[in-house]
Copies of this chain bind each other. A is one copy, B any other.
Amino acid sequence: MFTPSDDSGLAVLLALFLMMAAAKVLAELFERLRQPPVVGEILAGVIIGPTVLNWVRPSEITHTLAEIGIIFLLFRVGLETKPSSLFKVGARSVVVAVLGVVAPLACGYLLMRLWGANKIESLFIGTAMVATSVGITARVLASMNLLNEVTSRIILGAAVIDDILGLLVLAFVASGATGSVNYAAIAATITLALVFTAFVLLIGARVVTRLAPRIENLRTSESLFVFGIVLCLGLSVAASYVGVAAIVGAFLAGMTMAEASENNQTMHKQIAGVSEFLVPFFLVDIGMQLRLNEFRSSSLILLTVLVTLLAILTKLIACGLAALSLGLREAAQVGMGMVPRGEVGIVVAQIGLSMAVINDALFGVVLFMAIATTLVAPPILKILFAKQVKPESVAA
């Protein structure tokens, strides 16, 4: 209960109301302008956040809701992705992911070195340019009902592998920044991550499919939905412990239930409800992080533009090349699908800042790159996928 004397409760509730209302007003506006609503919701965060109106500031609460939001979004995307469909594109996803990691890391490092930054700074900026924010692309593809296209599956698979690789690069760079690199620990993390993913996909999916009828017979109402929530949270935690991102665990949790929940429309609608409620907080929270007033010198603005362009071009070209044999349009779809850096780039930059490896100015550069790549990709994806759009959209 929020009593009148409970001011902090009221402040939280007001922040949530402003975030949700602003997100949805701008989403509707962008729909009318035939632009992706996801861009509207991020811009809503820019507008109500510290950069423009300063009505709402990012807080532990908004971050937590954002994080649960992206977890449920990935769980929902996983529910529509059968493991077998991902195995078919597995080899190509690996190539897309690896090229998409190497190119931005190398080019980002070189650019920063040419700019005069030291090795550690340069490595951190390169690392922040590595990992794709699969949530943004998944949201765009889901809202156009395109999750089952071959290129969509390649992007999803590559983004998951890319997330694992990105965390390994970060572990490598971060341990290098604090002292000597612990190769044994990093090898252990790689092994654990691979074993975890293989175990969940190969064994977990079969166990869940076999258990599903029993789960549906439990006394708890909507038991498959409840089981899904518990599995999603549980595998997110497990993934974090193993050294993989929580969202990868949520995506895997969804995939293990893809077959079992195929005919349970009520569960799909309820998960959609949870995800629709939480995802706007994720998108608005990204927008709220922007700090434009950090950019005082023209050389810093030039660097920001260069880093952002490089972040777009490296993913577009490297990931596109890996998918070129599918055709030029398909290559462009895959490349552009890997461009958004979103919350992942922001987290890497925050770690760099907290380790005092990068300064506030470079932090601002990464923030801008992360948000700009996230805003640029959806409209272009919409054009690239326009011919394949299905009439009825499953998720928005």
Contacts and interface: CB of A to CB of B under 8 A. Distances in A.
Interface of A: 1-6, 8-10, 12-14, 16-17, 20-21, 24, 27-28, 31-32, 37, 60-61, 63-64, 67-68, 70-71, 143, 163, 167, 170-171, 174, 218-223, 225-226, 229-230, 233-234, 236-237, 240-241, 243, 245-247, 266, 269-274, 276-277, 343-344, 347-348, 351, 393, 395-396
Contact of A270 (B1, B273, B343, B348): B273
A28 B219 contact: yes
In the A-B complex, list the 5 residue pairs whose CB atoms are closest, starting with the nearest. A270-B273, A273-B273, A31-B219, A221-B396, A2-B246
A21 B5 CA distance: 33
Given A21-B230, A61-B60, A219-B32, A246 B13 contact: yes
Contacts of A347: 1, 3, 6
Nearest to A394: B221
Given A10-B241, A143-B221, A272-B273, 18 more contacts: A2-B247, A3-B245, A9-B63, A10-B237, A12-B64, A13-B246, A16-B68, A17-B234, A24-B226, A28-B218, A28-B220, A31-B218, A31-B220, A60-B60, A220-B396, A222-B396, A270-B273, A270-B276
Given A60-B60, A396-B221, A13 B273 contact: no
A230 to B, nearest CB: 5
A219 to B, nearest CB: 3
B37 A220 contact: yes
Contact of A13 (B21, B236, B270): B236
Nearest to A218: B28
Nearest to A4: B243
A221 B16 CA distance: 20
A76 to B, nearest CB: 11
Contacts of A14: 237
Contacts of A234: 17, 21
A13 B237 contact: yes
A24 B221 CA distance: 10
B222 A4 contact: no
Given A240-B2, A347-B3, A13 B233 contact: yes
A205 to B, nearest CB: 20
Contacts of A233: 13, 16-17, 20-21
A24 B13 CA distance: 27
Given A1-B343, A67-B2, A220-B396, A230 B16 contact: no
Given A20-B230, A32-B219, A64-B12, A247 B1 contact: yes
Given A3-B167, A276-B226, A240 B13 contact: yes
A3 B236 contact: no
Contacts of A70: 1
